[in-house]
Amino acid sequence: MALIEIKNLHAEVGGKPILKGIDLSIESGEVHAIMGPNGSGKSTLSYVLAGREGYEVTEGSVTFDGADLLEMDADERAVAGIFLAFQYPVELPGVTGMTFLKEAVNARRKAAGEGEIDAMQFLKMVRAKAKALGVTDEMLKRAVNVGFSGGEKKRNEILQMSVLEPKLCVLDETDSGLDIDALKVVSEGVNALRSQGRSMLVITHYQRLLEHIRPDRIHVLAQGKIQKTGGPELAHELEASGYADFAEAAA
Amino acid sequence: MVATADTVRQVEDVTGKEYKYGFSTVLEMDMAPKGLNTDIIRFISAKKEEPEWLLEWRLKAYEQWLTMQDPDWAKVGYPPIDYQDLYYYAAPKNMDDGPKSLDEVDPELLRTYEKLGIPLKEQEILAGVVAVDAVFDSVSVATTYKKELHKHGIVFCSISEAVKDYPDLVRRYLGSVVPFADNYFACLNSAVFTDGSFVYIPKGVRCPMELSTYFRINAQNTGQFERTLIIAEEGSYVSYLEGCTAPQRDENQLHAAVVELVAMDDAEIKYSTVQDWYPGDENGKGGIYNFVTKRGVCRGKRSKISWTQVETGSAITWKYPSCILQGDDSVGEFYSVAITNNAQQADTGTKMIHIGKNTRSTIISKGISAGKADQTYRGLVRIGKRADGARNFTQCDSLLIGDKCGAHTVPYIESKNPTARLEHEATTSKISDDQMFYCQQRGLSAEDAVGLIVNGFCKEVMRELPMEFAVEAQKLIGISLEGSVG
């Protein structure tokens, strides 16, 4: 059974239809990529899956891990195992990275009927994971994303992902704003999280990210619909021909 | 742990005794009739077996009060108070009037206690089901901590006891920081105050424990006109905690307290308050009017007074804890978090009066407004002619939740000395949808997300709170903002 199954998904923002019938299903352990031109609905898809307010589903269904995803609030979806790595991670003044992570972990434990996590044990675990991603202790003590560089913000997202151990990771333009070195660190972090029990949906405009994170399937999203699906080779085709064909095809 | 729970445990540890349940004494109802006049003041003074000078002081205050008007400059609104329709003496409170068991207590209040993790026994005290002394063995508690403090020569007792046992000290300092004619509410308090705390820290002594009003038996029922006086002699230190970290049932609508602090050379007083009295319901029905005058004087050189307050309760707050920096090189600090939700109103801030040379003051004020609440920061920084090298740093930040609340900042700055350096920073912000979604996407409920964001916003103030208070104060912030989003 697929971990997530999206059927004929239509969604609008502020009354404007953006997604116009998406069908997509991802098996457990698979990595799928969604590529597409600007304005094709890539980010909208990630927000709809994460349950952001203001993104209205008008038709279709999404089944996640056997449950009706669209019935759940954003925080319930997160606890159920959906993680969105933000294109533009948000600043939380005065809230340290460590506090934020602990709150997030405890929210999951609370939902599972467990007590709060042991502070020392947690500190150890986070430090080990942070080290692998080049996130320093100093960064964990700073307020979340405040004064972080683009690369620091993205590494921090991947750290959160690694600590929260989601079932489905949605990476929204994680490569944007990264130089080639930072891209490498982030990609390695993501690859380290690939596992049998974890699926990924990598959203990107460019092919370069997919050089580092090799997807099992690639979907081309344009005009609010998936126009084409293929293997990793599709990325190279797109690199050569661009998205123009799809824009025209849909129009 | 809840501050009070901690205290209970501390006491239990030292006494090695179980709490004593039930009453051992029958409380006698003892009330003066409604209204205010010289007879009532004489009655209060006689009940307390006060010396003649104190009665005279009260009567002078009353005479003055009659000539004064309610202040109308604060940005708060309430119907006129009928001062003849209040009781000015009712002690000790008769428990028979209160709820008989927790079943009779407002379930909303109980839900809050549960969220704060307050033990059942303590919930009963806070809700007014049992008296404090019904839970504590009052004698052993009193003697245990008093013995410890006595070893250091520290006096910590009710102001009524102090009037009897330390009349010279009380006479010398009472009204020396807040004269009875200072303002309308302080003047009323001077005429009719019924109880409060008295603290005296002798020269060179560092008080070995945080002094909390909770330690003082029956502190709960000191009534609406409290009077607190703290004196720190040369080179001494004391940290005083006022309040409880759980909302208390309280039937008095008007609270007009006065707090006076005196710090001599090299002395330091740290005064922390967590105030969470009943704020009234969503529509602004009920709730406490908290009209308080708090002032400290840094009389000695290099002395320091630090006010830290977390104000989440009361329907109306009118409060400006202040420092008079008289001694050279003295330091004043004010750290404040004020939260107003629903129909709450708060006009609060501080006054830093620089008189001595090289005096320094810091003001950090964090105001959070939600619902249709209205909040004002009102502060005065005054640099006197002789205050060479005086410095002040002020930071006033406001956070708005929703679009029906208000935040206002009214700083007054007066400098008569050209060498003074003053800085003022102010910001106003809102909790953004992006921040909410980011937190919720990580699994936090909307309520927890608001709590986290607001605690982050208040961080600079929260870290000034004694550990005993900090954790509960954090939870309290979340609870007081419940229902403000979503």
Contact status of B453 with chain A (Cβ, < 8 Å): yes
Q: Give per-residue pLDDT as tens, B201-234.
A: 999 999 988 887 654 433 444 457 889 999 999 9
Chain A residues near residue B435 by CB distance under 8 angstroms: 90-92
Chain B: give the shortest CA distance to residue A50, in Å: 7
Q: Which amino acid, one-letter code, is at B296? A: G
Residue B398 resides in a domain: yes
Enclosing domain of residue B341: 132-480
Residue B378 resides in a domain: yes
Please tell me which of the candidates B440, B448, B459 has its beta carbon nearest to residue A74: B440
pLDDT averaged over every residue in chain B: 81
Nearest to B347 by CA among B385, B378, B392, B310: B378
Enclosing domain of residue A185: 2-250
Q: Cα–Cα distance between A39 and A42 in angstroms, integer?
A: 7
Higher pLDDT, B238 or B34: B238
Residue B23 resides in a domain: no
Q: Tell me the ipTM for this assembly.
A: 0.95
Residue B260 resides in a domain: yes
Q: Cα–Cα distance between A42 and A37 in angstroms, integer?
A: 9
Residue B264 has pLDDT above 80, yes or no: yes
Q: Give per-residue pLDDT as tens, B44-59.
A: 898 888 999 999 999 9
Percent of chain A with pLDDT over 70: 98
DSSP string, B206-222: B-SS-EEGGGSTTGGG-
Q: Give per-residue pLDDT as tens, B161-182.
A: 899 999 999 999 999 999 999 9
- Contact check, Cβ <8 Å, B446/A83: no
Chain A residues near residue B444 by CB distance under 8 angstroms: 75, 103-104, 107
Please tell me which of the candidates B435, B448, B460 has its beta carbon nearest to residue A107: B448
CB contact at 8 A, A152 and A26: no
Chain A residues near residue B430 by CB distance under 8 angstroms: none
Residue A100 has pLDDT above 90, yes or no: yes
Residue B463 has pLDDT above 60, yes or no: yes
Mutate to test the interface with B, among A76, A90, A96 (most CBs of B within 10 A): A90
Q: What is the CATH number of the domain that holds A37?
A: 3.40.50.300
Residue B294's pLDDT is 96
Alpha carbon of B450 to those of A73, A86, A157, B407: distances in Å?
16, 20, 21, 18
* Encoded tokens for A195: 């596992």
* Encoded tokens for A159: 């750290």
**3-class SS letters over B172-231:** HHCCCCCCCCCCHHHHHHHHHCCECEEEEECCCCECCCCEEHHHCCCHHHCCCCEEEEEE
Chain A: give the shortest CA distance to residue B240, in Å: 27
Q: Cα–Cα distance between B76 and B319 in angstroms, integer?
A: 12
Average pLDDT on B278-290 reads 78
Higher pLDDT, B481 or B185: B185
Q: Which helix (H) or strand (E) holds B145?
A: helix B138-151
DSSP string, B81-132: P-GGGS-S-B-SPPGGGS-SSGGGS-HHHHHHHHHHT--HHHHHHHTTSS-H
- Contact check, Cβ <8 Å, B445/A75: yes
- What three-state secondary structure class fits B79? coil
Residue B297 resides in a domain: yes
Mutate to test the interface with A, among B437, B474, B477 (most CBs of A within 10 A): B437
- Between chain A and chain B, the number of residue pairs with CB atoms below 8 A apart is 75
Residue B324: left if φ>0, alpha if ψ -120 to 50, beta else—which one? beta
Residue B24's pLDDT is 26
Q: Cα–Cα distance between B381 and B393 in angstroms, integer?
A: 10
Would you place residue B259 in the very low, low, confident or very high pLDDT band (cuts 50, 70, 90)? very high
Contact status of B29 with chain A (Cβ, < 8 Å): no
Domain tally for chain B?
1
Residue B7 has pLDDT above 50, yes or no: no
* Encoded tokens for B91: 């002690």
- Contact check, Cβ <8 Å, A74/B458: no
Please tell me which of the candidates A89, A103, A111 has its beta carbon nearest to residue B452: A103
CB contact at 8 A, A104 and A160: yes
Residue B329 resides in a domain: yes
Domain tally for chain A?
1
Residue B5 has pLDDT above 60, yes or no: no
